């Protein structure tokens, strides 16, 4: 059975949030992921990894800008690109992703300012 886009987003958000035991951390992650995925779908500014990689940071301790990535499995993750080792790193699980798994990326939108 094929999931709708809404169901895919909710499932991915649930999987991401289930890493946390604390209710507020779970809630922030779950709803933040849903908001981010919906925003990304509404603002298709995806950049193919073959065309360009995220900006390399001058600070040697910071690998690259944190970005939102799309993987071949249809998952969305927050990641950085490690220029030294030429690999993507999932910032929440601190795990290396297979380079061929990442297809597109986009800058993470800046937080909304309270008015």
The number of C-alpha atoms within 13 Å of 11 and in the hemisphere containing its C-beta is 10
User: Is 26 in the same domain as 69?
Assistant: no
User: Is 16 in the same domain as 66?
Assistant: no
User: Is 20 in the same domain as 76?
Assistant: no
2-18: average pLDDT: 86
Is residue 60 pLDDT above 80, yes or no?
Answer: no
Domain carrying residue 8: 1-44
Is residue 115 pLDDT above 60, yes or no?
Answer: no
User: Is 50 in the same domain as 71?
Assistant: yes
User: Is 73 in the same domain as 84?
Assistant: yes
**Percent helix, strand, coil in the chain (nearest 5)?**
30, 25, 45
User: Is 59 in the same domain as 35?
Assistant: no
Domain count, the chain: 2
User: Is 68 in the same domain as 97?
Assistant: yes
Tell me the per-residue pLDDT of 15-51, one tens digit each, with 9 for 90 and over. 888 888 877 788 888 888 888 788 777 776 788 888 9
User: Is 28 in the same domain as 50?
Assistant: no
CB atoms within 10 A of CB 51: 7
Residues 62, 76 contacting (CB under 8 angstroms): no
User: Is 81 in the same domain as 92?
Assistant: yes
């Amino acid at each position: 059975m094929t999931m709708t886009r809404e169901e895919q987003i909710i499932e991915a958000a649930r999987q991401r949030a289930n890493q946390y035991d604390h209710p507020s951390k779970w809630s922030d992650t779950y709803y933040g992921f849903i908001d981010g995925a919906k925003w990304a779908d509404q603002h298709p500014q995806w950049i193919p990894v073959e065309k360009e990689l995220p900006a390399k940071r001058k600070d040697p301790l910071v690998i690259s800008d944190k970005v939102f990535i799309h993987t071949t499995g249809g998952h969305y993750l927050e990641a950085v690109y490690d220029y030294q080792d030429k690999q993507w790193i999932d910032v929440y699980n601190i795990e290396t992703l297979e380079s061929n798994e990442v297809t597109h990326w986009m800058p993470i939108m800046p937080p909304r300012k309270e008015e």
